[in-house]
Amino acid sequence: MTDDWRMEPIGHIESPYREGFGIPRQSGIVPAATGILVPTAEWRDPAAWQGIEAFSHLWLVWVFHAKRRMQTGDRKAVRPPRLGGNERVGVFASRAPIRPNPIGLSVVRLIDVQPVDGGVQLHLGGLDLLDGTPILDVKPHVPYADCPADSRGGWASAPPERLAVVWGAAEPWLDQLSPERIALIEQTLAQDPRPAFHDDPERVYGMRIEEIDVRFVVREHRAEIREIVPATD
């Protein structure tokens, strides 16, 4: 039995998240985070996707292509944001992005199967993936098997608290952005993208959403958008 496994992506994700900061920590908590699964040439054939439209949600198996793998000597315990960044749990009792193997797993909503030039693309919602993420596999989400009635969530048994979002000095942008883009920004900020140990009400953060940078502060349980500027690569 070999210790090395070679896996080839079956596609990649086109996502509104162009950098790690701001990506939701779990799939599904930002419904407005929509994007496209673009299959590779080998897997774009509609025959490979026949019948998938009958399922409302899909499992994506993917690669942390922008994260390093754990190296010998790395800590085996992590500090989850949900525990305030102060309490440690084992890496296998967490969904920390730096893992022994750079593999991610997400449940996303299937919005549509789109025909494109003789092939297909999948329009998805609730993404927690960086733009360009390689997809290793797609499996249907089956409620009776994937949602056990006696499931327990351990230290993450309840949804995270949400921040209120106010536009502040950036309010003029409300007339320039589409309702979909506004919802994406507000839902992403509401889940508080800051590191758990950050609590500086004067610090201005920048979050890349597609081609814009959203700059904001967090104070008194609300995110205040200070300005929106074109992103610079």
Q: How high is the mean pLDDT of the chain?
A: 90
State the pLDDT at residue 4: 77
Residue 167 three-state SS: coil
Calculate mean pLDDT across residues 25-54: 96
- The whole-number pLDDT of residue 70 equals 57
User: pTM to 2 decimals?
Assistant: 0.90
Lowest-pLDDT choice from 9-13, 58-62, 199-203: 199-203
- Number of Cβ within 10 Å of residue 104's Cβ equals 21
- φ, ψ of residue 31 in degrees (nearest 5): -55, -30
Share of the chain above pLDDT 90, in %: 67
Contact 42, 115 (CB under 8 A): no
Say what the pLDDT of residue 159 is: 81
Spatial distance between the Cα atoms of 104 and 39, rounded to a whole number of angstroms: 18
Separation between Cα atoms, residue 26 and residue 127, nearest integer Å: 8
Quick one: DSSP state of residue 160? P
pLDDT at 2: 63
pLDDT tens column, 207-231: 999 999 999 999 999 999 999 998 8
The burial class, CB within 10 Å (0-12 / 13-18 / 19+), for 172 is: exposed
Using the predicted structure, report yes or no on whether residue 72 has a pLDDT greater than 60.
no
Q: Kindly indicate the confidence band of residue 154, based on its pLDDT and cuts at 50, 70 and 90.
A: confident
The kind and range of the H/E element at 181 are helix 179-190
